[in-house]
Amino acid sequence: MRVLKDIFRKNRAWAQGETERDPNFFKDLEAQQSPEILWIGCADSRVPANQIMGMSPGEVFVHRNIANVVVHSDFNCLSVLEYAVAILKVRHVIVCGHYGCGGVKAAMENHKLGLIDNWLRHIKDVRSKHENVLAACADNATELDTLCELNVIEQVHNVCHTTIVQDAWDRGQELAVHGWIYRLKDGLLNDLGSCVTHSDELSEIYRLAVDSTKEAGSSGIFHRTDLEKNHENK
Ligand code: ZN
C-alpha cells in the first residue's frame, strides 16, 4: 500500500525536522505532557485540533467523536475529561464544532443510517429543544449552521454540568469551558460566546449564547456578544 509507505516516510521526515528544530523536542515530550487545553471536537478528518490551532504535540489533550457530543453516560469522554481536569489540571476545555458537520446534518435530515442513529439522537434532542430558533432560519444551509452552533452550546452546558467540572469549581480550581466553531471554508475558528468559568454564570451565559444564535439565524453569521468580549482573555 503506497499510502501507508508514504506515512512512514513522512513520519521519519517529520521526526527529523522536529529534532533539527529542537534537539530536545522528543526528550521533553517523553518526560511529561503538560497541556493547558482539553479539546473536545468532531472526528471529522478535516478538523485536526493541533493543526488548526497551530499547536504542537504535548500542548493539547484531545477527545474526538462524531459531532463533538458530550453525554453524561459516555465513560470514554468522561474519563478523558476527568484525566484532563483532575490530573493534568488543564485550564481550558474547548468544545469545538464545525459548520457543515456531517453528523449534525444527518440528525437534521432524519435519514436512517443504522447504529449511528442512536448517537445522533443526542443531536436530534438539541434540534427539538430549539425547534423555534431553527424554524426561523431563512434556509436549510442557515438552519444547519445554526444547529451546529446550538449543538456546541448544548455540549458546553453538558461539560459544565458533569460532576468532574462541578467538583473542580467547588475546590477552587481555575477552569474555563469554551464553545467554539470552525469554518471549513476559510479555516477560521469563532468563539460562540459561551465561555463559563463558574457554576454561578452557567445559566445566564447559556441563555445569552442561545439568544446570539437566534439573532444570527436569519443571516447565518454569528454575532459576537459582549460576554464573549469579556471572556476573551480567560
Ligand atoms: Zn463533524
Spacing of C-alpha 208 from chain mean position: 19
Neighbours of 62 (CB within 10 A): 16
CA of 164 to the centre of ligand 1 (A): 25
Q: Which pLDDT score is estimated for 103?
A: 96
Q: Please tell me the predicted confidence (pLDDT) of residue 111.
A: 82
Rounded Cα gap, residues 56 and 52, in angstroms = 11
Please tell me which residue in 12, 46, 111, 207 is annotated as part of the active site. Answer: 46
Q: How far is the CA of 22 from the centre of ligand 1 (A)?
A: 34
In this structure, are 19 and 104 located in the same domain?
Answer: no
Q: Which residues of the chain have pLDDT under 50?
A: 218-221, 223-231, 233-234
pLDDT of 191 = 96
Among the listed residues 81, 84, 99, the one whose alpha carbon sits nearest the alpha carbon of residue 44: 99
Q: How far apart are the CA of 104 and the centre of ligand 1, in A?
A: 7
DSSP for 161-194? HSHHHHHHHHTT---EEEEEEEETTTTEEEE-S-
Residues 121 and 189 in one domain: yes
| Residues in the chain, overall count | 234
Residue-wise pLDDT for 98-150, tens only, equals 999 999 999 999 888 999 999 999 999 999 999 999 999 999 999 999 999 99
Lookup: cell for 188: 477560521
pLDDT of amino acid 216: 66
* 157 and 185 fall within a common domain: yes
**One domain for residues 27 and 39:** no
Contact 49, 77 (CB under 8 A): no
- What's residue 225's pLDDT? 42
Domain region containing 38: 34-232
Q: Are residues 20 and 91 in the same domain?
A: no
Q: Are residues 7 and 70 in the same domain?
A: no
